[in-house]
Chains A and B, each alone.
Chain A
């Protein structure tokens, strides 16, 4: 019997399991920049669940959620400091403006960690934190 399914990299599968077990908002970006998963806490921030959106390409999630600069201009994924850091094998941490599904902007701190498996770079695990101290 032929195999129809191609398994996601085990590093992403394990990371998704971790995200599902956390209240900390977090998402997964794959090698191509596709938003392959985000957990329920992110869904509350974004105003839309992963069940509703499914995976989104860089262009799709960038247009929908951002990030945006202080003038509201979209920051291209390939030029974003977090993308550059992760592709260089480093973690990055920035405060960013995003837009929720209802159109409201909000500021959040973003930490991105590269996921490097036995066969190389597989994507990034991204966490979101309050932008300011309480």
Chain B
């Protein structure tokens, strides 16, 4: 399984010289499975660049954790939507009442969009993520509701003895002490348990978090505690705050690395998600990182 980060920023795109190294695009992660199938996790602004790199792919599955704008805003600019020969399946969280298509249609319709879903040339379908594990290509996918504002899913993707857990918007520490609550009471724990790679929300420093409790995102200490308790083999901190510059993220990375070692996390297995970077999850349980950054703490 190969994982490529196309956008690791949270909330709103943050382009500019002060965010160039970590990247300013919002959440989008490409996962290439062992059988060549392509999954896309979230459709933030990062999906625009991904679209121009997968012109030859006939079937693309887009898995949406939730429908906040920073996770769907790139949809309209995803080039495969405009190729009639491409089939795109969009999976999203189940919500009673309105269909996934209708809810996404609120964004992909007038007056917010010049194009509506029915006008897209590609063969597009919408499916609610099932409560039970299901298969796409060579992967088994598991989705579960997690703590965030509004209906939100986390994903675990298992393929050829490797597993990726994706929890980009997640506040597991809200209202509970993560260090001693039972694992089955921790939001997202079962998805992350002993996964090969965990991508986890780490939007705020501990100092910032005190003014943002309940906003649906994690502080550094909670992200690390969650990662440590779930025994994730490798951790990528994700969903960077749009106000954080590259230098501030470097500092957050250093501080997180020190805390990670302090809580007993394995050395070298904690890194920051950086736009453009890739990780090849190997069946021997190791991960091989390429691209800019990803230097472990």
Contact = CB atoms under 8 A, between A and B. Distances in A.
Interface in A30-81: 37
Q: Is the interface of B mostly helix, strand, loop or mixed?
A: loop
Nearest to A19: B175
Contacts of A17: 147, 174-176
Interface in B177-193: 183-191, 193
Given A6-B184, A16-B176, A17-B176, A1 B194 contact: yes
5 tightest A-B CB contacts, nearest first: A17-B175, A10-B145, A1-B194, A7-B190, A5-B190
A7 B176 contact: no
A10 B190 CA distance: 12
B183 A118 contact: no
Interface residues of B, number: 29
B94 A4 contact: no
Contacts of B144: 7, 10
Contacts of A37: 185
Nearest to A118: B94
A13 B154 CA distance: 15
B16 interface: no
A7 B156 contact: no
Nearest to B163: A1
Contacts of A3: 142, 156, 190-191, 193-194
Interface residues of A, number: 21
Contacts of B131: 119
A118 to B, nearest CB: 5
B193 A4 contact: yes
Scoring A8, A13, A21, A117 by chain B CB atoms within 10 A of each residue's CB, the highest score goes to A13
Contacts of B174: 17
B175 A1 contact: no
A63 B144 CA distance: 35
B175 A18 contact: yes
A105 interface: no
B147 A1 contact: no
B156 A10 contact: no
A69 B174 CA distance: 39
A5 B193 contact: yes
B151 interface: yes
Given A5-B183, A118-B96, A119-B131, A20 B175 contact: yes
A14 B176 CA distance: 10
22 contacts: A1-B193, A1-B194, A1-B195, A3-B156, A3-B193, A4-B193, A5-B183, A7-B144, A7-B187, A7-B188, A7-B190, A7-B191, A13-B185, A13-B186, A16-B176, A17-B176, A20-B175, A20-B176, A117-B145, A118-B93, A118-B95, A119-B131
A8 B146 CA distance: 10
A21 B177 CA distance: 11
Contacts of A6: 184, 190
Scoring A4, A8, A9, A17 by chain B CB atoms within 10 A of each residue's CB, the highest score goes to A17
Given A8-B184, A18-B175, A20-B176, A118 B151 contact: yes
A129 to B, nearest CB: 22
A10 B184 CA distance: 10
A69 B194 CA distance: 49
Interface string A106-132: 000000000001110000000000000
A5 B226 CA distance: 14
A51 to B, nearest CB: 10
A17 B213 CA distance: 13
A14 B189 contact: no
A15 to B, nearest CB: 10
Contacts of B194: 1-3
A7 B192 CA distance: 11
A18 B174 CA distance: 9
A14 B193 contact: no
Nearest to B133: A3
